[in-house]
Amino acid sequence: MHRVQVRQRLIRFARKSFREQLAIVQRQLGRPLIPRWYVPHLRNDRTAYVIGLGGSGRTYLNDLIVQNIGERAKYFRNAIRFHPRPTSMIYSGHATMRYIHTGALSPAVTRRIIEATRSGFADLIFIYRHPLDSLLTNWVWRRENILNKRGIVGIADVYKNTDDFCAALEANFSELAECEAGSFLTAPGARCLSLQEFIEETELFLSSATLTLRLEDFMIDPFKEFSKIAEVMSADLDLSRRRITAPRATPYRYLAVKKNVTPFRDLINALDAETKTRIEKMGYAL
121 and 56 part of one domain: yes
Q: Does pLDDT of 244 surpass 80?
A: yes
**Per-residue model confidence (pLDDT) at position 2:** 58
107 and 235 part of one domain: yes
Judge whether 224 lies within some domain. yes
Judge whether 168 lies within some domain. yes
- DSSP-assigned letters across all residues of 41-83: --TT--EEEEEE-TTSSHHHHHHHHHHHSGGGGGGEESS----
Which residues contact residue 52 at a Cβ distance below 8 angstroms, ignoring those fewer than 6 apart?
58, 61, 94, 126, 127, 128
154 and 185 part of one domain: yes
Work out the average pLDDT over 155-164: 95
What tens digit of pLDDT does each residue of 2-46 get?
565 656 676 676 776 655 665 565 555 554 545 555 688 888 999
Pick from 98, 129, 104: nearest CA to 49: 104
Phi-psi group of 255: left, alpha or beta (phi > 0 → left; psi -120 to 50 → alpha; rest → beta): alpha
Q: Does pLDDT of 180 surpass 50?
A: yes
Work out the average pLDDT over 131-153: 94
102 and 56 part of one domain: yes
Residue 48 phi, psi dihedral angles, 5° rounding:
-110, 130
Q: Does pLDDT of 269 surpass 70?
A: yes
Judge whether 25 lies within some domain. yes
**End-to-end C-alpha distance for the chain, whole angstroms:** 76
Pick from 75, 85, 93: nearest CA to 38: 75
Average pLDDT, the chain: 90
Q: Give the Cα separation of 18 and 162 in Å (integer).
A: 55
274 and 155 part of one domain: yes
Q: Does pLDDT of 104 surpass 70?
A: yes
What tens digit of pLDDT does each residue of 43-98 get?
899 999 999 999 999 999 999 999 999 999 999 999 999 999 999 999 999 999 99
Judge whether 158 lies within some domain. yes
**Per-residue model confidence (pLDDT) at position 178:** 95
Q: What angle do CA 39, 28, 91 make, to 5 degrees?
A: 20
Q: Does pLDDT of 124 surpass 70?
A: yes
Q: Give the Cα separation of 112 and 84 in Å (integer).
A: 8
Residue 76, strand partner residues: 90
94 and 202 part of one domain: yes
Q: What angle do CA 283, 253, 92 make, to 5 degrees?
A: 70
Which residues contact residue 6 at a Cβ distance below 8 angstroms, ignoring those fewer than 6 apart?
none
Give the CATH number of the domain where residue 73 resides.
3.40.50.300
Q: What's the total number of domains in the chain?
A: 3
**Per-residue model confidence (pLDDT) at position 31:** 47
DSSP 105: B
Higher-pLDDT residue of 24, 281: 281
273 and 170 part of one domain: yes
99 and 19 part of one domain: no
What tens digit of pLDDT does each residue of 163-179 get?
999 999 999 999 999 99
**Boundaries of domain holding 115:** 47-130+194-241
Q: Give the Cα separation of 263 and 176 in Å (integer).
A: 10
107 and 221 part of one domain: yes
Q: Give the Cα separation of 256 and 275 in Å (integer).
A: 21
- The percentage of residues in the chain with a pLDDT greater than 70, rounded to a whole number, is 88
**Per-residue model confidence (pLDDT) at position 53:** 97
166 and 262 part of one domain: yes
Question: Are 140 and 125 spatial neighbours (Cβ–Cβ below 8 Å)?
Answer: no
Judge whether 114 lies within some domain. yes
63 and 153 part of one domain: no
Judge whether 6 lies within some domain. yes
Judge whether 286 lies within some domain. no
103 and 218 part of one domain: yes
Judge whether 97 lies within some domain. yes
